[in-house]
Amino acid sequence: MTGKAELRRERLAARGLLSDEDVRKTAEVLARRALELPELARARTVAAYVSVGREPGTRVLLDVLLARDTRVLLPVLMADNDLDWASYEGAGRLVRAGRGLLEPDGPRLGPDAVLEAEAVLLPGLAVDLRGMRLGRGGGSYDRVLGRLATAGTEPALAVLLYGNEVVPRVPDEPHDRPVHAVITPAGIRRFRPV
């Protein structure tokens, strides 16, 4: 765990140096790049998240997906750190939640709603050359990935990152699962086919 904590601190410190303009410009590029991933571009249902702070921006992408009539599911953090889901109906329907998050104000669909997604965008701080993702450490998305694996569903799993967040190695544990692709402003890197 120490290696993960150290890498988290390092990545968060690097993000802290980004300007609002850096974050905004990167979000626009990431929206275009993300739709170059065929699995995401053709998905009828996408599970995503609302970026906050200095995370690589997802809001432009969420609105593009919504305009394309893609059903977008966004997470709702539950008290036990597991994720419920609700449909994204536009930025005006997002409400402030705990931990500085933004969540949809619509009806909750249940933790298993993610099983309907054909593509899942996961937040992360880094991805290594094997496709192993470093999250924030709360375990919420580890549960989502476990739920997907248990159900036998195989949606495309992708992470949006800044270019310097693709690293040689992320410390991993037995429960960690690799993603299929990472999307950076420079393009898409695949780790394994869907």
At 35-56, the pLDDT tens digits run 999 999 999 999 999 999 999 9
Q: Parallel, antiparallel, or unpaired: how do β-strands 102-104 and 94-96 relate?
A: antiparallel
Q: What pLDDT digit, counting tens, does each position of 53-108 carry? A: 999 999 999 999 999 999 999 999 999 999 999 999 999 999 999 888 899 999 99
The count of structural domains within the chain is 1
The reported pTM is 0.93
pLDDT at 9: 94
Segments forming the whole domain that contains residue 17: 2-190
- Distance from C-alpha of 188 to C-alpha of 181, rounded to nearest angstrom: 7
When pLDDT is averaged across residues 127-154 and rounded to a whole number, the result is 91
Average confidence score pLDDT of the chain: 93
pLDDT digits (tens, 9 = 90+) for 115-137: 999 999 999 999 999 999 999 88
Residue 193: per-residue pLDDT: 64
pLDDT reported for residue 192: 74
What is the structure's pLDDT at 89?
96
> Residue 99's domain is classified under what CATH number?
3.40.50.10420
Tokens of 48: 């995503």
pLDDT of residue 100: 84
The pLDDT-based confidence of 187 (bands split at 50, 70, 90) is very high
**Position 194 confidence tier, pLDDT thresholds 50, 70, 90:** low
112/108 Cα distance (integer angstroms): 11
Q: In what order do the strands lie in the sheet with 187-190?
A: 83-87, 71-77, 45-47, 119-122, 156-160, 181-184, 187-190
Spatial strand order of the sheet with 133-134 comes to: 133-134, 126-128, 166-167
pLDDT of residue 132: 95
Q: How far apart are CA 113 and CA 97, in angstroms?
A: 20
Classify burial at 173, counting beta carbons within 10 Å of its beta carbon; exposed 0-12, middle 13-18, buried 19 or more: exposed
